[in-house]
Structure 1
Amino acid sequence: MLRSLRGRLIVLLVLLVCAALASGILMVGLFHQSAAAQLGQAAAENSRACEAIATAYRQVGASPAARVGTSDETALNARLTTLLERSLRGRPAVQGGIWRNATGSLAYAYPTYVGAVQRTAPPDGELPRIRAVNAQAVGGDHTVSRHYGSQSQTLLLAACPLPGPVPNLTAWTMTMTRTFPSHSYYQLMAGLGVLLVTVLAAALLLTHLTMTWSRHVTRIEAALNAYDLAELPVLPATRERELDRIVLALNEAGGRLSVARQRAETLARQMATAERLAAIGRVAAGVAHEIRNPIAAMRLKAESAVAAGPERQPQALAVILGQIERLDALVRRLLSITEHDEPRREPVQVEPFLDACIAEHTDLAAAKGLTFRRDGDLREARFDPNQLQRALDNLVLNAIEAAPAGTRIDVTARQTADAAVFSVLDRGAGPPAHILDHLFEPFVTGRPDGTGLGLSIVREVAEAHGGTARLMRTADGTLFEIVLPWPIS
C-alpha cells in the first residue's frame, strides 16, 4: 500500500482537533462539577450557620434573657442581635436573623459585611423569599433550605425552628455565591482560548507544511519529467532540510550517472573501433588467404613452364588464366559486398521467380541426388529481383553443399502479418557452433574450400531491402530465412 505524507499530515491535524475538542469538553465538565461543588459547599455552610444560631438560642433559652416577653421587644431584639453576631462572626458573607411568623424580623445581623455602612435590616428585595422559607420552617423539626439562581450568582436561604418560650420563632441565614462568570470560569475561558490558539497555529503550520512539501515535490517531479533520464537535471534547493537531502542525493546520483554515461559511450566507441578493426583484420586475412593460393599456383606453373621449355607453356598459361579468373570472381564478390546499390524494387510474381532460381541449380543438385520443392502462400511482392536472386543463389548453393545425398531442399516464400519471408531448408547439420556468432560476416565459413562471402552477400541484400537474414534450427534440418518488411514498397 502506498503511503502519502500529505495524508499523514491531514490525519495528524484531525487528531489534534479531536484532542482539542476532547480537552474542551473535559474542561467544561470539570467547570460544571466545580460550580456544583461550590454551590453545595456554600449551601452546607449556610445551613450550618442557621444551625449554629439555633444551638446558641437553645443554650440561652433558660436564662433570664429568654424570659423577656413580648412586652420588652427592644431588649429582646438587642439580646437576639448579640446572639446573631456571635454566631455569624466567623462565617464570611453570611447574614441572618430571627423571624417571628406573625410579626416578621425580630433581629438581624451581618457581622462580616465590609461596606461603609453597617446593615441593620434584611434586604428589602429578599424579604418575600425570607418570609416564605421561614414559614416553611415554623413548626418543623429540621432545617429548610432554598436556593434561587440567576445568570451570574445564586441566593442561598436556610431556616430552622427555634423552640423555646417565644412561640413561632425561626432562625434564618442567607448568603450569595457567584457561579458564572467566576474566577474559575475565566480560567476555563483562558485555557480554552490558549487551546484554540494552539490548535489554530498547529493547523496553519500543518497546512503550510503540507502545501510547501506538495509544491516542492511537484516542482521536483516536473523537473525530472522535463529531462531525459539519461541526463538528470540539477535540482534547485528547497530550503527544507529533509527535502534538500533528497535533492542533494538526486543531484549526486545525476552526476554519477552522467560520468557513467560518458564512460559507457567512450567504452562503446572503443568497442566499436575494436570490432571494426577485428572485422578488417578478418577480411584482410581472408583476402590474403584467397589471393595467396592463386598467386602461388600461378608462380609454380610459370616457373615450371620456364624450366620445361615452350612445350609446357600453353598448359601453364591455361592454368594461370584459370587462377586469374578465380581472382576476378573473388574481387567481384568483394565488390558486391562493399558496393551498397539501392534496390530497384518492382512487382514480382513470386512463384515464377522461385522456379527460375531453382532451375539454375537443378543439374548440380541432381548430380548429388538432391531434389527441390517450392512451397508458400506469397503470390506477389515488390523487391529487386536481381539482388534477391543473388542472395537466394548463395543460400541454395550452401544447401546443396550441406545436404546429405538423396534428401530434399525446400525453397519457400510465405507471408506473415508484417513481413515476407523467403527461406531455404536443407537436411544437413548446419554450420559449426564456433562460427555462429559471426556467421554472416565476410570470410567466415565452415568449409575448407569456401570463401565465406555467400552469407555476407545474403545479409547485405536483406538489409538493403530494410530486412534481416537469420539462421533457424528446426527439427527437419537447417533453415536460412530472408525476412523483408511487408508490404514491400
Structure 2
Amino acid sequence: MFRSLRGRLIVLLVLLVVAAGATATLMIGLFHQSAAARVGQAAAENSRACESIAAAYRLHGAELAGFSSAPDNAAERARLTALVQGALRNRPGVQGGIWQGDMGSVAYAFPTYEGATARTDPPGGELPRIRATNAAASSSDRAASNRYGVLSGTLLIAACPLPGPVPHLSAWTMTWTFTFAGSSYYQMMAGQAVLLVTVLVAAALLTHLTMTWSRHVSQIEAALNTYDVADMPELPATRERELDRIVLALNEAGRRLSAARLRGDQLARQMATAERLAAIGRVAAGVAHEIRNPIAAMRLKAESAVAGGAERQPQALRVILGEIERLDALVRRLLSITEHDEPKRERIDVSAFLDACIAQHTERAAAKQVTIACTADPEEARFDPDQLQRAMDNLILNAINAAPEGSRIDVAAVHRTDALVLSVHDRGVGPPEAIRDHLFEPFVTGRPDGTGLGLSIVREVAEAHGGSARFILTDNGTSFEIILPWPTS
C-alpha cells in the first residue's frame, strides 16, 4: 500500500479522519472540563448565598427574638422574606428561603427573577429535593448541598441550619447552571462544525485526487499495453501537471525509441548483408582453395603426359580421374550442406547403429593404434539413419585424426531428460583456439588436408532433426555432441 500513490492518499485520508476525531474528542473533553468548572463555581456561589442568608439571620437575631416557635403569622413571614430578599439581592439567578421541619417553606424570595411577575413561592416541582436537602442540614446541624443533573444543565441546592429560638429552622438556596448553553457551548459547536466541514472538504478533495490519478494511470497503462514497446503510442495529456510531465517524457522516449529502432533496423540489414557477403567470400575462398589443388595436379599430369608421349598417358589419365573423383566428392559434400533434405525417421536399434558407424573406421583407427569403445543407453530411437550416419562418420574421422597414438575414442548415445545425445570423445588437444567459435561453418578447418565441410554437415543434420550440435573442451580431451529432441519423432 505504501508503495503506491493511491495507498498513500488513502493513508493520508485515514490519518486526517483520525486527527479530526482526536481533535473533536479533545474539544468535547475541554468543554466538559469547562462545564464542570462552571458547575463547581455555581455550587460555591450557591453555598455562599445560603451562608449569606444565615449570616443575615444571625445579624438580626435580636429583632427576631420574639418569634414564636412556629412563625406562621403574616408579619413574621414577611420579615423573614425581607431578610432572604436582602441576602439574595446581589446574587443573580439564585433563589432561596427559610425552611422549618415539617411545616415546609416559611419564607421565599427570588429577587433577581427576570419574569413579568415576581415569584412568591418555591417551584413546586423541586419541593421534594428542597425538603431533602433541608432535612439533611437540620439532622446533621451543618451545611448540606445536592446536585441534580438534567438534560440541559445541573440543579444546585444548598441548605444550612439557622440557630435560634425556632427549632429545625434552616436556610436554603437554589440555582441552575445550563451546561449546553452559553459562550463555551456555542464555541464548541462552532469549532465542531468548522472541523466537520474541513474534514469533509479534505476527504472530498483527497477522494477526487485519488480517483483522478488512478483513472489517468489506468488509461496510460492501457494505452501502453495496447501497443508493442517498439511502437509506443502518443499518450494524450491528462491536465494534471505532474502526470503530464511523465506523459511528455514517455512520448519523448517513444519518439527516441522509434528513431533508435529505425536506426537499429538499418544497421541490422547492413550487418546481415555484410555477413552474407563475408560468408559468400569464405565459401568462395574455400571452394577456390579446394578446386585449385586438383586442377593444378591434373594440369601437371596432362603436361607431363603430352611431353612424355604415349607411355606416360595411362598413368596421367589415372591421376586425372582420381582428381576428378576428388572434385566430385567435394561437390557432393557441398550439395549435402545446401540441399536440406527432410529426415526420413525410422525406429532404429541404437546400439547396432553405433556399431555400424564404428565398423567403417576400425581399420583406419587400428592403423593409428587407436581403439574405439561404444556405449548406448537407450535401446531404440527414431531418426534418419543415413543422415545421422553421415554426421557420425565425420565426427569419428575427425576424432581418429585428432586422437594421440595408443589412446581411445568413446562413442556414446545417452538418453537425457528431453534429449538423445550422440557424442564422440577423443583424447586430443582439440582444434586451434582461433577457429573454435566458427567450427561448424563451411570450410573452417584446423588440418592442412581438411576440407572444412565435415562439421558443417554435422550441424545441418542435427538442425534438420530439430536439434543442435556443439563442441566441448574438457580436461581429458575433446567431445563433439549431436543433441536431438526426445522423443525423436
The TM-score normalised by the length of structure 1 is 0.79
CA contact (8 A) 1:381 1:488 kept: yes
Residues 198 and 329 from structure 1, CA distance in 2 versus in 1: closer, same or farther, beyond 3 angstroms? same
- In the alignment, what sits opposite 2:419? 419
- In the alignment, what sits opposite 2:440? 440
- In the alignment, what sits opposite 1:288? 288
- In the alignment, what sits opposite 2:180? 181
Question: Is the partner of 2:441 in helix, strand or coil?
Answer: coil
Q: Within 5 Å, which residues of 2 pair with 1:154-169?
A: 154-160=154-160, 167=166
Residues 359 and 69 from structure 1, CA distance in 2 versus in 1: closer, same or farther, beyond 3 angstroms? closer
Give the aligned residue type for 1:392: M
Question: Is the partner of 2:369 in helix, strand or coil?
Answer: coil
| Displacement of 1:282 | 1.2
Residues 345 and 127 from structure 1, CA distance in 2 versus in 1: closer, same or farther, beyond 3 angstroms? closer
- In the alignment, what sits opposite 1:375? 375
CA contact (8 A) 2:414 2:421 kept: yes
- In the alignment, what sits opposite 1:275? 275
Q: Within 5 Å, which residues of 2 pair with 1:102-117?
A: 109-117=109-117
| Displacement of 1:440 | 1.4
Distance 1:156 1:369 in 2: 128
CA contact (8 A) 1:134 1:160 kept: yes
Residues 6 and 304 from structure 1, CA distance in 2 versus in 1: closer, same or farther, beyond 3 angstroms? same
Deviations 1:117-160 (A, max 9, x none): 45566666667766776677679975554555543354444455
CA contact (8 A) 2:375 2:413 kept: yes
Distance 1:32 1:211 in 2: 40
CA contact (8 A) 2:350 2:379 kept: yes
Give the aligned residue type for 2:444: V
- In the alignment, what sits opposite 1:452? 452
Distance 2:322 2:228 in 1: 61
| Displacement of 1:438 | 0.9
Distance 1:372 1:99 in 2: 135
Matched, 1:51 2:22: no
CA contact (8 A) 2:95 2:175 kept: no
Give the aligned residue type for 1:181: F
Deviations 1:168-208 (A, max 9, x none): 69674644324253224444444444444544555555555
Residues 465 and 188 from structure 1, CA distance in 2 versus in 1: closer, same or farther, beyond 3 angstroms? same
| Displacement of 1:431 | 1.4
Question: Is the partner of 1:442 in helix, strand or coil?
Answer: coil
Q: Within 5 Å, which residues of 2 pair with 1:314-325?
A: 316-325=316-325
Residues 421 and 169 from structure 1, CA distance in 2 versus in 1: closer, same or farther, beyond 3 angstroms? closer
| Displacement of 1:318 | 4.7
Residues 171 and 378 from structure 1, CA distance in 2 versus in 1: closer, same or farther, beyond 3 angstroms? closer
Q: Within 5 Å, which residues of 2 pair with 1:88-487?
A: 88-96=88-96, 109-119=109-119, 143-146=143-146, 149-160=149-160, 167=166, 172=171, 174-183=173-182, 184-203=184-203, 205-207=205-207, 209-210=209-210, 240-303=240-303, 316-487=316-487
Question: Is the partner of 1:472 in helix, strand or coil?
Answer: strand
Residues 105 and 347 from structure 1, CA distance in 2 versus in 1: closer, same or farther, beyond 3 angstroms? closer
CA contact (8 A) 1:420 1:485 kept: yes
CA contact (8 A) 1:294 1:327 kept: yes
CA contact (8 A) 2:47 2:173 kept: no
| Displacement of 1:388 | 2.7
CA contact (8 A) 1:422 1:483 kept: yes
Distance 1:485 1:32 in 2: 85
Question: Is the partner of 2:176 in helix, strand or coil?
Answer: strand
| Displacement of 1:436 | 0.8
Question: Is the partner of 1:471 in helix, strand or coil?
Answer: strand
Give the aligned residue type for 2:178: T
Structure 2 unmatched runs, 5+: none
Question: Is the partner of 1:450 in helix, strand or coil?
Answer: coil
Question: Is the partner of 2:340 in helix, strand or coil?
Answer: coil
| Displacement of 1:20 | 4.0
Deviations 1:259-294 (A, max 9, x none): 444444443333332222221111111122222333
Distance 1:216 1:7 in 2: 16
Give the aligned residue type for 1:182: A
CA contact (8 A) 2:101 2:168 kept: yes
| Displacement of 1:446 | 1.0
Residues 124 and 363 from structure 1, CA distance in 2 versus in 1: closer, same or farther, beyond 3 angstroms? closer
Residues 91 and 474 from structure 1, CA distance in 2 versus in 1: closer, same or farther, beyond 3 angstroms? closer
CA contact (8 A) 2:350 2:376 kept: no
Distance 2:106 2:349 in 1: 142
CA contact (8 A) 1:409 1:424 kept: yes
Q: Within 5 Å, which residues of 2 pair with 1:66-85?
A: none
- In the alignment, what sits opposite 1:34? 34
Residues 487 and 2 from structure 1, CA distance in 2 versus in 1: closer, same or farther, beyond 3 angstroms? farther
Distance 1:121 1:357 in 2: 135
Residues 9 and 402 from structure 1, CA distance in 2 versus in 1: closer, same or farther, beyond 3 angstroms? same
Distance 1:348 1:140 in 2: 123
Residues 108 and 431 from structure 1, CA distance in 2 versus in 1: closer, same or farther, beyond 3 angstroms? closer
More displaced stretch, 365-374 vs 231-240: 231-240
Residues 327 and 112 from structure 1, CA distance in 2 versus in 1: closer, same or farther, beyond 3 angstroms? same
CA contact (8 A) 1:68 1:75 kept: no
Percent identity of equivalent pairs:
71
Deviations 1:55-91 (A, max 9, x none): 45555556xx7788789x8887777666655544432
Distance 1:138 1:57 in 2: 16
- How many residues are aligned here? 486
CA contact (8 A) 1:46 1:174 kept: yes
Residues 387 and 100 from structure 1, CA distance in 2 versus in 1: closer, same or farther, beyond 3 angstroms? closer
Residues 176 and 343 from structure 1, CA distance in 2 versus in 1: closer, same or farther, beyond 3 angstroms? same
Deviations 1:200-256 (A, max 9, x none): 555555555555555555555555555555555555555555555555555555554
Give the aligned residue type for 1:40: G
| Displacement of 1:329 | 3.0
| Displacement of 1:424 | 3.0
Q: Within 5 Å, which residues of 2 pair with 1:7-26?
A: 8-26=8-26
Distance 2:103 2:352 in 1: 147
| Displacement of 1:435 | 1.0
Distance 2:352 2:316 in 1: 44
Distance 1:372 1:455 in 2: 20
Distance 2:118 2:410 in 1: 137
Structure 1 unmatched runs, 5+: none
